[in-house]
């Protein structure tokens, strides 16, 4: 016999909600279709029996009825589950894992399109609300949840971040594939101490007393480091392929705990053969930024909105601005002029020949209307040996370019590479590196081509499009000095 | 005046091939469309003027005409370039880089559809054929080219490998995305010494005397290692998402130089929440293998053929067999029975309770008709603490599964994970690891769900589908004991 009760101004047939354990057990084992919350939310199959599995985000118990919000990580929005209060149990708490069967019905509320009218609710994993560090009504800051790296993915904000990060990763791969770049897995362990030592991690087998064996002190026979850039390895490939890229972890043993630095972070790096102009590189950088961001705005709208509403209110306008406008291009020399003519009091005095500091970079971006700006043609002496000599005078510059963006400062750095054997040999010899980079010189000896490339910090990109202040909130497991949890 | 010469039985208007330097210079700067070799080879726009840039793979000079094969890495097949011998120069040698403009024409030969009739040939990077380690008519073995990690991408075999590797990477990402897995960047640096120490790399900043500062001996305050698996970090995520995966570098400080081991290699790892059966995992593993391989066979047919013809002749049949047949499933106990009843003389005697050796794995695969075989339910004592207890008797097993494949042996390993708090706590306590894995126990304390996952060695996968004997020939820059070149 069907008993009708009134619930929030609507009728429910209670026999569908309770007392049908044997039916629900059967459904559980066989006919009920398992669906993700995201698919249930947009399903047109109202009236169908579905099974969902996820974690409880809220519990509200009324006299006759029980309301749950259940999330399974497939979307920010949870699924509302309605059940007879008979199905309530003591272990049905915030954070517990549930397995629920019910009928998907049109929701009478305008907060959601559909809701699941549950006939079976099984708690598969309990969650003691006293011990669980997140509370049902708590508004936990990014800083607070950062203390629980093994649990923070269970919060709305961090699960949104992880969905965005996954989508951004896929979008970046798509961008390069659509433009016919080959993906190269550049090595993590390398014997290059690259841009002249400093802040490298070194690796040896654990438990070995380093250098204790004087004859054979290293596992790899030579000192080995964690990569700070895949560029040189990509340049190898630019001697055989038209365009290559890598997207992987990169390391700096920087003893800093700022909002801007991680010891392990992700870099997107690209190298293009037969390129003779910084314009080619800038086109690719701007394309990468805009295509990826466009992809996120259309595929992760809800998750992006969380950040633009609650984490960095009003930031959507900044993103809109970056998407609509062409990126600016100025030379380093122009940038120094702008800084010198500004009334701003800088901690570091801007001077031709000196590196731009973060304060300078941020000022330049503001000066350019908070639209990203490419700064080109840096002083030759500031750039590493591989940067291509512009052979200009009197202000001797190299064909290098940085992309500066709002909030972050430097997002990308790139250059044409010195492909001319004799110029490169001379510069390496001056630095005493001719032997170390004999292999690199050979790339120019055998079928050298004009080429260039750039790198983009992936976490800084996420900071820039989401308005995230602290870089530690953009990566699943943050590593920095004095911290390597898990 | 157009002078007609006979060339390989066909007519060419020589005025199109030479003496038009001023025209070609104009084309070079403006109207000639830059195309990749791959696109030129399939272009229908015969009669059009194109510009191609690449490296010379062969030079053949006749009295009136010059034939080049030019490759730019976009395809295995080079583009044939035909020119008047007037355009020949001393520096037009095997390996040099060229920039060529010409008219794309239907080729009279059946070796190629089209050829480029060049009006301009510029050598942009010379290549001294005496010093260049690869010779124009040399058939260089994989072992030989391995000595030149900065140049081997310029050989046919290794450029094919790199195209296949890039495509396989993309195919694996597609497979997981199509099945709604979230990609997680699990960390490279970790404080877990995972499956009980042994063969880990440790990291500290370079130049530091380790442990010299007794107060603060470590950069991360704790010993930090290079990851051997992202599994535990994925399990964190399986507490908030229905399905996650990672695909990145993994490390073993194994002091071996075999055909089967690298110190740095790539692993694909997946973790699925709300999974209660090994069948679910096996379905995903088989799907991953077959979908990826199908993708390679359709997108990299030419490159695959190179390996199946020249590197591992006849291997295509093996690949066909793996694609056509359902993978076998046997239990570990059955596998031991098969081994015990075999007449094969094994170096290690097969015995219930002992690990399967590579020789055993290869025998099992052969026994199953050279079709991949899943071996399930290994002895409980052989498996790490996280493997789910089957609670069977008298042969006490865990819900673990390995996938064995021809040529390689173990390709994948997976298990259901022990989600039951008390069972896990007891096992960790027995191993004295309760404190170390307090965070891992918390995953079970708060909303635990049945889950499981697996890992696949990416280089072993490439060995298996390409028939490559030595794993060092499957990765751009191989790292193993005593070797970390570049």
Structural domains for chain A: 33-125 (2.40.50.140), 154-204+221-473 (3.30.930.10)
Q: What pLDDT does B328 receive?
A: 98
Contact A234, A244 (CB under 8 A): yes
How large is the average pLDDT for residues A214-223?
85
CA dist B139 and B137 (Å) reads 7
CA dist A398 and A386 (Å) reads 10
Q: What pLDDT does A208 receive?
A: 63
User: The pTM is what?
Assistant: 0.93
Chain B residues lying within 8 Å of A250, measured CB to CB: none
Phi, psi values for residue B469, rounded to 5°: -75, -40
Q: What pLDDT does A167 receive?
A: 98
Which of B112, B109, B100, B92 has its CA nearest to residue B50? B100
**% residues pLDDT > 90 (chain A):** 85
Residue of chain A nearest B263, judged by CA positions:
A189
Which of B395, B399, B345 has its CA nearest to residue B374? B399
Chain A residues lying within 8 Å of B212, measured CB to CB: none
Q: What pLDDT does A25 receive?
A: 40
Which of A444, A90, A163, A112 has its CA nearest to residue B183? A163
3-state secondary structure of B327: coil
Neighbour tally for A216: CB within 10 Å: 8
How large is the average pLDDT for residues A149-155?
97
Average pLDDT, chain A: 91
CB distance from A196 to chain B under 8 Å? Answer: no
Q: What pLDDT does B208 receive?
A: 63
Q: What is the ipTM of this complex?
A: 0.93
Categorize the per-residue pLDDT at A138 as very low, low, confident or very high, splitting at 50, 70 and 90. confident
Identify which has the larger pLDDT, A338 or B137.
A338
The answer, yes or no, to whether the previous bond of A326 is cis (omega within 30 of 0) is no
pLDDT in tens, B405-419: 998 999 999 999 999
Partner residue opposite A201 with nearest CB, options B125, B169, B206: B206
**Within 13 A of B157's CA, how many CA atoms are on the CB side?**
22
Chain A residues lying within 8 Å of B92, measured CB to CB: none
Query: Inter-chain contact B170–A173, Cβ cutoff 8 Å?
Result: yes
How large is the average pLDDT for residues B31-36?
91
- Minimal C-alpha gap between B34 and chain A (Å): 11
CB distance from B125 to chain A under 8 Å? Answer: yes
Which of A192, A167, A177 has its CA nearest to residue A245? A177
B contact residues 393-412, partner A, Cβ 8 Å cutoff:
none
Helix (H) or strand (E) holding A329: strand A328-331
Q: What pLDDT does B198 receive?
A: 67
Categorize the per-residue pLDDT at B310 as very low, low, confident or very high, splitting at 50, 70 and 90. very high
Categorize the per-residue pLDDT at A195 as very low, low, confident or very high, splitting at 50, 70 and 90. low
Q: Cα dist. B178→A45, B175, B181, B223, B230 in Å?
A: 22, 5, 8, 38, 21
pLDDT in tens, B316-333: 999 999 999 999 999 999
Chain A residues lying within 8 Å of B154, measured CB to CB: 239-240, 446-447
CA dist B449 and B451 (Å) reads 6
Partner residue opposite B484 with nearest CB, options A53, A224, A419: A224
Residue of chain B nearest A478, judged by CA positions:
B187
Q: What pLDDT does B15 receive?
A: 35
pLDDT at B227 over 70: yes
Count contacts between A and B (CB, < 8 Å): 330
Categorize the per-residue pLDDT at A185 as very low, low, confident or very high, splitting at 50, 70 and 90. very high
pLDDT in tens, B82-130: 999 999 999 999 999 999 999 999 999 888 899 999 999 999 999 999 9
Query: Inter-chain contact A72–B242, Cβ cutoff 8 Å?
Result: yes
Phi, psi values for residue A175, rounded to 5°: -55, -45
pLDDT in tens, B432-454: 999 999 999 999 999 999 999 99
- Minimal C-alpha gap between A414 and chain B (Å): 21
pLDDT in tens, B176-201: 999 999 999 999 999 987 655 568 99
**% residues pLDDT > 70 (chain A):** 91
How large is the average pLDDT for residues B53-75?
96
- Minimal C-alpha gap between B5 and chain A (Å): 32
Categorize the per-residue pLDDT at B4 as very low, low, confident or very high, splitting at 50, 70 and 90. very low
Query: Inter-chain contact A182–B162, Cβ cutoff 8 Å?
Result: yes
> What angle do the packed helices A458-466 and A315-324 form, to 10 degrees?
110
Residue of chain A nearest B257, judged by CA positions:
A220
């Amino acid at each position: 016999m069907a008993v009708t009760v009134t619930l929030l101004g609507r009728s429910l047939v209670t026999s569908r909600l309770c007392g049908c354990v044997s039916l629900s057990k059967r459904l559980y084992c066989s006919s009920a279709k398992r669906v993700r919350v995201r698919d249930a939310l947009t399903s047109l199959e109202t009236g169908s029996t579905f099974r969902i599995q996820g974690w409880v985000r809220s519990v509200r118990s009324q006299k006759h009825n029980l309301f749950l919000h259940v999330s399974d990580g497939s979307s920010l929005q949870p699924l509302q589950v309605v059940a007879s209060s008979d199905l309530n149990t003591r272990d049905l708490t915030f954070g517990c894992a549930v397995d629920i069967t019910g009928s998907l019905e049109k929701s009478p509320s305008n907060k959601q399109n559909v809701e699941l009218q549950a006939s079976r609710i099984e708690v598969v994993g309990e969650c003691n609300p006293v011990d669980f560090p997140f509370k049902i009504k708590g508004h936990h800051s990014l800083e607070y949840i950062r203390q629980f790296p093994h649990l923070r993915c269970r919060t709305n904000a961090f699960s949104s971040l992880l969905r965005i990060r996954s989508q951004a990763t896929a979008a970046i791969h798509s961008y390069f594939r659509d433009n016919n770049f080959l993906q190269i897995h550049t090595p993590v362990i390398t014997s290059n101490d690259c841009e002249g030592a400093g802040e490298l991690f070194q690796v040896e087998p654990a438990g070995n007393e380093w250098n204790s064996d004087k004859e054979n002190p290293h596992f790899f026979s030579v000192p080995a480091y964690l990569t700070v850039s895949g560029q040189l390895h990509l340049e190898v490939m630019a001697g055989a392929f038209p365009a290559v890229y890598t997207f992987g972890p990169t390391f700096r043993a920087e003893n800093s705990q700022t909002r801007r630095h991680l010891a392990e972070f992700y870099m997107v790096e690209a190298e293009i053969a037969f390129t003779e102009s910084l314009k080619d590189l800038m086109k690719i950088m701007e394309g990468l930024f805009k295509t990826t961001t466009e992809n996120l705005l259309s595929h992760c709208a809800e998750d992006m909105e969380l950040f633009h509403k609650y984490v960095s209110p009003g930031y959507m306008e900044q993103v809109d601005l970056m998407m609509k406008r062409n990126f600016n291009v100025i030379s380093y020399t122009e940038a120094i002029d702008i800084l010198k003519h500004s009334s701003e009091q800088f901690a570091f005095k801007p001077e031709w020949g000196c590196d731009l500091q973060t304060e300078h970079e941020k000022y330049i971006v503001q000066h350019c209307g908070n639209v990203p700006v490419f700064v080109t043609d840096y002083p030759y002496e500031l750039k590493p040996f591989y940067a291509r000599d512009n052979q200009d005078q009197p202000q001797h510059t190299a064909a290098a370019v940085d992309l500066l963006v709002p909030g972050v400062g430097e997002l990308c750095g790139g250059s044409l590479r010195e492909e001319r054997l004799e110029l490169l040999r001379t510069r390496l010899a001056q630095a005493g590196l001719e032997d170390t980079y004999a292999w690199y010189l050979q790339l120019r000896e055998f079928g050298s081509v004009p080429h260039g490339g750039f790198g983009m910090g992936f976490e800084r990109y996420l900071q820039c499009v989401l308005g995230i202040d602290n870089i530690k909130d953009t990566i699943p497991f943050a590593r920095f000095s004095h911290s390597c949890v898990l």
